[in-house]
Amino acid sequence: MTGLAAKLALAAAAAAGLYAPTIGVPTSLGSCLRTPGIASAAPSPTCASDLRDCLHAQVRTGLYGVRYVLPEDASRCVEAFNACRHGGTSGGGNPNPPPSTSASGSTGKGLPSHLGIKTSGNGDSRYDCRISGNSVSCTGTLLASFGSTDSSEEQFTGTLSGLTATGTFKGHQTGHAPADASCRYEQDLTGPATYVFNLDGTVLIRQGPAQIQGTYSCGGPTSYTGKAWESTGTWSAME
Protein backbone atom coordinates (compact mmCIF):
# COMPACT_ATOMS: atom_id res chain seq x y z
CA MET A 1 0.00 0.00 0.00
CA THR A 2 1.42 3.45 -0.91
CA GLY A 3 1.95 6.10 1.77
CA LEU A 4 -1.04 8.07 0.51
CA ALA A 5 -3.24 4.99 0.34
CA ALA A 6 -2.21 3.91 3.81
CA LYS A 7 -3.04 7.33 5.25
CA LEU A 8 -6.41 7.32 3.51
CA ALA A 9 -7.18 3.83 4.82
CA LEU A 10 -6.24 4.78 8.37
CA ALA A 11 -8.21 8.01 8.10
CA ALA A 12 -11.34 6.22 6.91
CA ALA A 13 -10.93 3.47 9.49
CA ALA A 14 -10.52 6.04 12.25
CA ALA A 15 -13.58 7.93 11.08
CA ALA A 16 -15.50 4.68 11.30
CA GLY A 17 -14.30 4.15 14.88
CA LEU A 18 -12.16 1.15 13.94
CA TYR A 19 -8.67 -0.01 14.81
CA ALA A 20 -6.07 -1.26 12.37
CA PRO A 21 -3.76 -3.98 13.76
CA THR A 22 -0.70 -2.00 12.69
CA ILE A 23 -1.46 1.04 14.88
CA GLY A 24 -2.00 1.44 18.58
CA VAL A 25 -4.72 4.08 18.65
CA PRO A 26 -7.15 5.38 16.03
CA THR A 27 -6.32 8.72 14.44
CA SER A 28 -9.06 11.24 13.73
CA LEU A 29 -10.08 11.72 10.15
CA GLY A 30 -9.49 15.45 10.42
CA SER A 31 -5.87 15.10 11.51
CA CYS A 32 -5.15 12.56 8.79
CA LEU A 33 -6.64 14.75 6.10
CA ARG A 34 -4.50 17.64 7.34
CA THR A 35 -1.38 15.56 6.77
CA PRO A 36 0.73 17.06 3.94
CA GLY A 37 -0.01 15.34 0.66
CA ILE A 38 -3.55 14.30 1.54
CA ALA A 39 -5.43 17.56 1.03
CA SER A 40 -4.45 17.75 -2.63
CA ALA A 41 -6.02 14.35 -3.24
CA ALA A 42 -9.45 15.10 -1.82
CA PRO A 43 -11.90 12.38 -2.95
CA SER A 44 -15.36 12.97 -4.33
CA PRO A 45 -18.21 12.44 -1.83
CA THR A 46 -19.29 9.29 -3.70
CA CYS A 47 -15.82 7.74 -3.65
CA ALA A 48 -15.31 8.61 0.01
CA SER A 49 -18.67 7.06 0.91
CA ASP A 50 -17.76 3.89 -0.99
CA LEU A 51 -14.48 3.70 0.92
CA ARG A 52 -16.25 4.00 4.28
CA ASP A 53 -18.84 1.37 3.31
CA CYS A 54 -16.12 -1.00 2.10
CA LEU A 55 -14.15 -0.67 5.34
CA HIS A 56 -17.27 -1.18 7.46
CA ALA A 57 -18.04 -4.38 5.56
CA GLN A 58 -14.62 -5.82 6.48
CA VAL A 59 -14.93 -5.21 10.24
CA ARG A 60 -13.86 -8.05 12.50
CA THR A 61 -14.28 -8.33 16.26
CA GLY A 62 -11.27 -9.35 18.30
CA LEU A 63 -10.35 -9.80 21.93
CA TYR A 64 -12.38 -7.72 24.42
CA GLY A 65 -14.70 -6.66 21.62
CA VAL A 66 -12.13 -4.50 19.79
CA ARG A 67 -13.30 -3.99 16.19
CA TYR A 68 -10.66 -3.79 13.47
CA VAL A 69 -9.93 -4.12 9.75
CA LEU A 70 -7.12 -6.30 8.44
CA PRO A 71 -4.41 -4.45 6.45
CA GLU A 72 -5.05 -6.52 3.31
CA ASP A 73 -8.76 -5.70 3.46
CA ALA A 74 -8.00 -2.01 3.91
CA SER A 75 -5.66 -2.22 0.92
CA ARG A 76 -8.39 -3.67 -1.28
CA CYS A 77 -10.81 -0.94 -0.23
CA VAL A 78 -8.25 1.76 -0.97
CA GLU A 79 -7.54 0.24 -4.40
CA ALA A 80 -11.24 0.51 -5.19
CA PHE A 81 -11.24 4.06 -3.83
CA ASN A 82 -8.33 5.03 -6.09
CA ALA A 83 -10.05 3.50 -9.11
CA CYS A 84 -13.18 5.51 -8.31
CA ARG A 85 -11.22 8.72 -7.69
CA HIS A 86 -9.22 8.48 -10.92
CA GLY A 87 -12.39 7.76 -12.86
CA GLY A 88 -13.56 11.36 -12.35
CA THR A 89 -14.71 13.75 -9.64
CA SER A 90 -18.26 12.42 -9.93
CA GLY A 91 -17.18 8.96 -8.85
CA GLY A 92 -17.27 7.60 -12.39
CA GLY A 93 -14.57 5.02 -11.88
CA ASN A 94 -15.14 1.61 -10.33
CA PRO A 95 -17.44 2.30 -7.35
CA ASN A 96 -17.67 -1.38 -6.37
CA PRO A 97 -14.75 -2.55 -4.21
CA PRO A 98 -13.29 -5.96 -5.02
CA PRO A 99 -14.63 -8.70 -2.74
CA SER A 100 -12.62 -9.60 0.31
CA THR A 101 -11.24 -13.10 0.66
CA SER A 102 -10.88 -12.79 4.42
CA ALA A 103 -14.32 -11.51 5.49
CA SER A 104 -17.90 -11.98 4.45
CA GLY A 105 -19.23 -9.96 1.52
CA SER A 106 -20.71 -6.50 1.78
CA THR A 107 -24.30 -5.54 1.08
CA GLY A 108 -23.22 -2.08 -0.09
CA LYS A 109 -24.90 -0.53 2.96
CA GLY A 110 -22.03 -1.15 5.35
CA LEU A 111 -23.51 -4.45 6.55
CA PRO A 112 -22.04 -7.87 5.75
CA SER A 113 -24.15 -10.39 3.86
CA HIS A 114 -23.88 -12.81 6.80
CA LEU A 115 -23.93 -11.53 10.37
CA GLY A 116 -24.60 -12.73 13.88
CA ILE A 117 -26.49 -10.90 16.63
CA LYS A 118 -26.20 -11.30 20.40
CA THR A 119 -28.97 -9.80 22.54
CA SER A 120 -29.45 -9.65 26.29
CA GLY A 121 -32.47 -7.41 26.90
CA ASN A 122 -35.10 -10.15 27.14
CA GLY A 123 -32.95 -13.18 27.82
CA ASP A 124 -29.67 -14.09 26.11
CA SER A 125 -30.43 -14.86 22.48
CA ARG A 126 -28.38 -15.46 19.34
CA TYR A 127 -29.46 -14.66 15.79
CA ASP A 128 -28.04 -15.80 12.47
CA CYS A 129 -28.91 -13.29 9.73
CA ARG A 130 -28.48 -13.34 5.96
CA ILE A 131 -28.78 -10.28 3.72
CA SER A 132 -29.28 -10.56 -0.03
CA GLY A 133 -29.93 -7.29 -1.80
CA ASN A 134 -32.68 -5.65 0.25
CA SER A 135 -33.97 -8.94 1.69
CA VAL A 136 -33.12 -9.92 5.26
CA SER A 137 -33.78 -13.21 7.06
CA CYS A 138 -32.79 -14.07 10.63
CA THR A 139 -33.16 -17.14 12.84
CA GLY A 140 -33.05 -16.58 16.59
CA THR A 141 -32.70 -18.93 19.56
CA LEU A 142 -32.98 -18.28 23.29
CA LEU A 143 -29.80 -19.66 24.87
CA ALA A 144 -31.13 -20.19 28.40
CA SER A 145 -34.49 -20.00 30.15
CA PHE A 146 -35.70 -16.50 30.93
CA GLY A 147 -38.47 -15.87 33.44
CA SER A 148 -41.24 -18.36 32.70
CA THR A 149 -39.97 -19.01 29.15
CA ASP A 150 -37.95 -22.21 28.88
CA SER A 151 -37.22 -22.19 25.15
CA SER A 152 -37.84 -19.85 22.25
CA GLU A 153 -37.10 -19.97 18.54
CA GLU A 154 -38.07 -17.41 15.93
CA GLN A 155 -37.68 -16.49 12.27
CA PHE A 156 -37.64 -12.95 10.89
CA THR A 157 -38.06 -11.90 7.27
CA GLY A 158 -37.94 -8.30 6.17
CA THR A 159 -36.78 -5.61 3.80
CA LEU A 160 -33.69 -3.50 4.37
CA SER A 161 -33.86 0.28 3.89
CA GLY A 162 -30.59 1.94 4.80
CA LEU A 163 -29.61 0.23 8.05
CA THR A 164 -33.17 -0.62 9.17
CA ALA A 165 -34.88 -3.92 8.37
CA THR A 166 -38.66 -3.96 8.67
CA GLY A 167 -40.78 -7.08 8.42
CA THR A 168 -42.51 -9.82 10.41
CA PHE A 169 -41.46 -12.53 12.81
CA LYS A 170 -42.82 -15.93 13.75
CA GLY A 171 -41.87 -17.57 17.01
CA HIS A 172 -42.49 -20.72 19.02
CA GLN A 173 -42.07 -20.80 22.79
CA THR A 174 -42.39 -23.33 25.58
CA GLY A 175 -42.53 -22.55 29.27
CA HIS A 176 -44.49 -22.77 32.48
CA ALA A 177 -46.97 -20.70 34.45
CA PRO A 178 -45.13 -18.28 36.78
CA ALA A 179 -47.05 -19.49 39.82
CA ASP A 180 -47.03 -23.21 38.97
CA ALA A 181 -44.08 -24.80 37.17
CA SER A 182 -46.10 -27.98 36.60
CA CYS A 183 -48.51 -26.03 34.38
CA ARG A 184 -46.76 -26.14 31.00
CA TYR A 185 -47.51 -24.11 27.91
CA GLU A 186 -46.63 -23.92 24.24
CA GLN A 187 -47.41 -20.87 22.16
CA ASP A 188 -46.91 -19.51 18.65
CA LEU A 189 -46.33 -15.81 18.07
CA THR A 190 -46.59 -13.69 14.93
CA GLY A 191 -46.22 -9.95 14.54
CA PRO A 192 -44.26 -7.01 13.16
CA ALA A 193 -40.56 -6.58 13.85
CA THR A 194 -37.88 -4.01 13.12
CA TYR A 195 -34.11 -4.44 13.30
CA VAL A 196 -32.21 -1.14 13.57
CA PHE A 197 -28.52 -1.67 12.86
CA ASN A 198 -25.78 0.83 13.67
CA LEU A 199 -22.34 0.86 12.09
CA ASP A 200 -20.77 0.91 15.57
CA GLY A 201 -21.84 -2.73 15.91
CA THR A 202 -24.97 -2.23 18.01
CA VAL A 203 -28.51 -3.22 17.10
CA LEU A 204 -32.00 -2.55 18.44
CA ILE A 205 -34.74 -5.14 17.83
CA ARG A 206 -38.38 -4.10 18.23
CA GLN A 207 -41.07 -6.81 18.13
CA GLY A 208 -44.83 -6.87 18.49
CA PRO A 209 -47.53 -6.39 19.43
CA ALA A 210 -47.74 -10.11 18.67
CA GLN A 211 -50.73 -12.34 18.07
CA ILE A 212 -50.31 -15.30 20.41
CA GLN A 213 -51.95 -18.71 20.14
CA GLY A 214 -51.17 -20.94 23.11
CA THR A 215 -52.05 -24.16 24.84
CA TYR A 216 -51.72 -24.72 28.61
CA SER A 217 -51.59 -28.19 30.12
CA CYS A 218 -53.77 -26.98 32.97
CA GLY A 219 -56.06 -24.56 31.18
CA GLY A 220 -56.60 -25.38 27.52
CA PRO A 221 -56.08 -23.09 24.51
CA THR A 222 -55.64 -19.33 24.69
CA SER A 223 -55.55 -16.58 22.10
CA TYR A 224 -54.63 -12.97 22.77
CA THR A 225 -52.58 -9.97 21.65
CA GLY A 226 -49.35 -9.48 23.55
CA LYS A 227 -47.42 -6.31 24.22
CA ALA A 228 -44.56 -4.94 22.12
CA TRP A 229 -41.01 -5.30 23.45
CA GLU A 230 -37.44 -4.33 22.63
CA SER A 231 -34.07 -6.02 22.85
CA THR A 232 -30.63 -4.48 22.44
CA GLY A 233 -27.50 -6.24 21.35
CA THR A 234 -24.43 -6.29 19.17
CA TRP A 235 -23.80 -7.62 15.68
CA SER A 236 -20.65 -8.82 13.95
CA ALA A 237 -19.74 -10.30 10.57
CA MET A 238 -19.74 -14.08 10.22
CA GLU A 239 -17.73 -16.14 7.76
Half-sphere CA count of 133, side-chain side, radius 13 A: 2
**pLDDT value, residue 39:** 39
Phi, psi of 78 (to 5 degrees): -70, -35
Q: Does domain 114-237 have CATH number 2.40.128?
A: yes
Residue pLDDT, tens place only, 180-190: 889 999 999 99
Residue pLDDT, tens place only, 39-71: 334 455 667 777 777 777 777 665 445 566 777
Determine the Cα–Cα distance for residues 207 and 140; give it in Å rounded to an integer: 13
Give the residue extent of every domain in the chain.
45-86, 114-237
Q: Which of 62, 64, 58, 80 is nearest to 13 (CA)?
A: 58
Q: Which of 101, 4, 2 is nearest to 43 (CA)?
A: 4
Determine the Cα–Cα distance for residues 115 and 203; give it in Å rounded to an integer: 12
SS3 at position 207: strand
Q: What percentage of residues in the chain have a pLDDT greater than 70?
A: 66
